[in-house]
């Protein structure tokens, strides 16, 4: 019989499940803040990449002063449904692959477009 580290580890975890759970809990608590910060930075960078790929400014009025005032707009609507289906980051990854069907709008122009199209 050959010695397999993977199997040994699996067996050990089965026998010591409470120890493992305790360790995971401690690990999660210890790095919780760090992980949340990293996750937040990742989200902000991803969003910036998407906005930049869409031109970095509102295609209607040209607003480009603050990225927080810009949003990814679904040209033919359906943004809420897609967000429910694949999530915000899912949409961002999709836009990075192919920008077709999306445009960059400022918050004001986006609201006006939604109102005119009766999207809410």
Which of 53, 93 has the CB closer to Zn ion? 53
CA atoms within 13 A on the CB side of 119: 17
3-state secondary structure 68-110: HHEEEEECCCCHHHHHHHHHHHHHHHHHHHCCCCEEEEEHHHH
Which of 4, 52 has the CB closer to Zn ion? 52
φ/ψ region of 8 (left if φ > 0, alpha if ψ in -120 to 50, else beta) reads alpha
Q: With binding defined as CB under 5 A, does residue 112 bind Zn ion?
A: no
Which of 54, 58 has the CB closer to Zn ion? 58
Task: Considering only residues 26 through 85, tell me which ones interact with Zn ion, judged by CB under 5 A.
Answer: 58, 60-61, 63
Which of 47, 103 has the CB closer to Zn ion? 103
Question: Do residues 91 and 52 touch, judged by C-beta distance below 8 A?
Answer: no
Quote the least distance from Cβ 117 to Zn ion, whole Å: 15
Write out the two tokens for 81: 């449904």
Considering only the stretches 21-29, 39-47, 83-91, 107-115, report the one whose residues sit in contact with Zn ion under the rule CB under 5 A.
107-115
Q: With binding defined as CB under 5 A, does residue 109 bind Zn ion?
A: yes
Which residues contact Zn ion by CB under 5 A? 58, 60-61, 63, 106, 109
């Amino acid at each position: 019989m050959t010695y397999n580290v993977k199997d040994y580890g699996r067996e050990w975890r089965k026998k010591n499940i409470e120890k493992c759970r305790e360790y995971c809990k401690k690990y999660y608590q210890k790095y919780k803040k760090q992980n949340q910060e990293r996750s937040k930075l990742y989200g902000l960078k991803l969003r910036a990449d998407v906005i930049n790929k869409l031109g970095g400014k509102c295609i209607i009025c040209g607003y480009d002063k603050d990225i927080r005032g810009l949003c990814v707009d679904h040209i033919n609507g359906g943004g809420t449904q897609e967000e429910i289906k694949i999530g915000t980051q899912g949409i961002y990854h999709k836009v990075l692959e192919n920008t077709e069907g999306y445009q960059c709008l400022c918050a004001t122009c986006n609201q006006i477009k939604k109102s005119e199209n009766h999207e809410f």
